[in-house]
Amino acid sequence: MLRTKGRRKFFTTSSKNLYRVNERIRVPEVLVIDETGQKVGVMKTSEALALALEKEMDLVEVFPKAAPPVVKIIDFGQFQYQQNRKLQEQKAKTKKIEIKGLRISYKMGRHDLEFRKDQAIKFLKKGDKVRVEMILRGRERQFTKEAVVKINEFIKTISPEAELIIEQPLKKQGGQLTTLLAAKS
């Protein structure tokens, strides 16, 4: 008995495995649709395969859960190409939202806060979310209430220029205060 060492290898399923083609269709009867999209009718699988071969095309099982399963007479290579193209178009249409981080400190000056405010507004207008965080170091941890006030003032300076939604309210973890902001869509 052979034993393999190491991890098992997992393979991704390709579009070839998603559809049964030609001889892999194992049901006795199928509903056939020809290359123009017209319904031919219910017939034996062997007859449908012969009809597809006669037209020099493939018999592809499109809806296997129907009773009887629906098969189409099409060029399988072209069908795969169109399916992959649709997937790529869907990926291109999805908008990727990033979370941008802004770190402010308890002792930060007014000019630096203005600069961070401008960055936050730019990120929010671009459609990204903004995580504002303040790390309290050493003796700054005593002034948690003042730090919360400072973060809330920072958020108020942003809100007139960009409509905000506070997705994650201000929370404290150890010596770090964080909140997550997003623009109203």
Q: What percent of the chain has pLDDT over 90?
A: 29
Peptide bond into 69 cis (omega under 30): no
Residues 63, 108: one domain?
Answer: no
Residues 112, 175: one domain?
Answer: yes
Instruction: Point out the domain boundary residue: 27, 60, 86.
Output: 86
Angle between helices 144-158 and 110-126 (to 10 degrees): 50
State the average pLDDT over residues 99-115: 91
d(CA 162, CA 120): 9
State the average pLDDT over residues 153-181: 89
| pLDDT tens profile 35-52 | 888 888 899 888 888 888
Residues 29, 77: one domain?
Answer: yes
User: Of all helices (H) and strands (E), which one includes residue 24?
Assistant: none
Q: Which domain holds residue 19?
A: 15-86
CB atoms within 10 A of CB 133: 16
Residue 4's Cβ-side half-sphere holds a number of Cα atoms within 13 Å equal to 4
Residues 76, 103: one domain?
Answer: no
Instruction: Establish if 3 belongs to a structural domain.
Output: no
pLDDT (0 to 100) of residue 11:
44
Which class for 104: exposed (0-12), middle (13-18), buried (19 or more C-beta within 10 A)? buried
* Domain CATH for 77: 3.10.20.80
Higher-scoring residue by pLDDT: 2, 110: 110
Instruction: Point out the domain boundary residue: 86, 116, 140.
Output: 86
pLDDT (0 to 100) of residue 12:
45
- One-character DSSP codes across 141-155: GGGHHHHHHHHHHHH
Residues 61, 118: one domain?
Answer: no
Q: In which band, very low, low, confident or very high, does the pLDDT at 3 lie, cut at 50, 70 and 90?
A: low
Instruction: Establish if 78 belongs to a structural domain.
Output: yes
Instruction: Give the best-scoring range by mean pLDDT among 1-5, 17-21, 161-165, 170-174.
Output: 170-174
Residues 77, 103: one domain?
Answer: no
Residues 114, 177: one domain?
Answer: yes
Residues 112, 177: one domain?
Answer: yes
pLDDT (0 to 100) of residue 40:
85
Residues 68, 114: one domain?
Answer: no
Q: In which band, very low, low, confident or very high, does the pLDDT at 13 lie, cut at 50, 70 and 90?
A: very low
Residue 99 above 80 pLDDT? yes
Higher-scoring residue by pLDDT: 184, 121: 121
Residues 67, 134: one domain?
Answer: no
For the CA atoms of the chain, what is the radius of gyration?
Answer: 30
Instruction: Establish if 92 belongs to a structural domain.
Output: no
SS3 1: coil
Q: Is the pTM of this model over 0.85?
A: no
| pLDDT tens profile 45-83 | 888 888 888 888 888 888 888 888 899 988 888 888 988
Instruction: Point out the domain boundary residue: 65, 86, 107.
Output: 86
d(CA 41, CA 128): 52
Total number of domains constituting the chain: 2
